[in-house]
Structure 1
């Protein structure tokens, strides 16, 4: 069966940035499974997988607007370190769960700090990046 709306798709992939740096390779050997058309993967990736068959390999380039969106400067916020959960020593790159449901992000990354103030980036880590997926469709089957 081809990859199409409602199909259960199992695939392997490696995700790289425009410079060829590996961003995510956890699915290189362990497949990811999802229902095609339900928004489980970035829209640009989904669009380019439609019509593929079992065993097919493809490199897919997804621009930011079809991936995780553009970076939004207003999503970098300043919070007092005392408001962060149980972290005595805060390091650039640390990740925290959202501090507020209004942030629309699964996590926030420490961008920097000045004295007792911490700057958190609430953009998705891949926001603003052109994404290169190396995909192999393992299986696509009807969802009935």
Structure 2
């Protein structure tokens, strides 16, 4: 039986969980996730976990934050005056907003705190700083032709 190697396209089913067992993502009830190993289409730790697996094999792996979405970076958390938000936006904890830089690039920030004067915005990925556990099943290995 052949094993997954760099350059292969794989189809996998997965369930991603936090340390407390909370499921944050799953392919259950959906099509398997398809990606090419080595093409950096998924987080590095997930790609490394799949490499060497065989079709039909299942594996549970814990990926440290550094190989997932990175550590939580304080430099990506900013406090802005509340009047810089559009007037029709009433901030709520957990609210996600699209922010556009002067360069035209846009990214998503999450409201983590607010009061009458200020709003705290966090541009870290919501899973940054968290170790992630994945249950992975390799459904299919597609070799490059």
The TM-score range, normalised by the shorter chain, is: 0.7 to 0.9
Superposition deviation, residue 120 in structure 1: 0.8
Aligned to 2:29: 29
Superposition deviation, residue 113 in structure 1: 0.7
Aligned to 2:15: 14
Distance verdict in 2 for CA 1:17–1:79, change over 3 Å: same
Contact 2:100 2:107 in 1 (8 A): no
Superposition deviation, residue 82 in structure 1: 4.4
Contact 1:14 1:135 in 2 (8 A): yes
Structure showing greater radius of gyration is 2
Contact 2:16 2:24 in 1 (8 A): yes
Range with bigger deviation, 48-57 or 77-86: 77-86
Contact 1:12 1:29 in 2 (8 A): no
Aligned to 1:120: 121
Structure 1: which 5+ residue stretches go unaligned? none
Range with bigger deviation, 86-95 or 122-131: 86-95
Residues 1-144 of structure 1 aligned to structure 2 (within 5 Å): 1-25=2-26, 27-30=27-30, 31-84=32-85, 87-100=88-101, 106-144=107-145
**Number of aligned pairs?**
142
Give, in whole Å, the separation in 2 of the partners of 1:32 and 1:138: 9
Give, in whole Å, the separation in 2 of the partners of 1:105 and 1:44: 26
Contact 1:108 1:122 in 2 (8 A): yes
Partner deviation per Cα, 1:15-39 (whole Å, 9 max, x = no partner): 10111111112x1232111111111
Moved over 4 A (4+): none
Distance verdict in 2 for CA 1:39–1:98, change over 3 Å: farther
Distance verdict in 2 for CA 1:105–1:75, change over 3 Å: farther
Give the structure-2-normalised TM-score: 0.87
Contact 1:105 1:122 in 2 (8 A): no
Contact 1:9 1:139 in 2 (8 A): yes
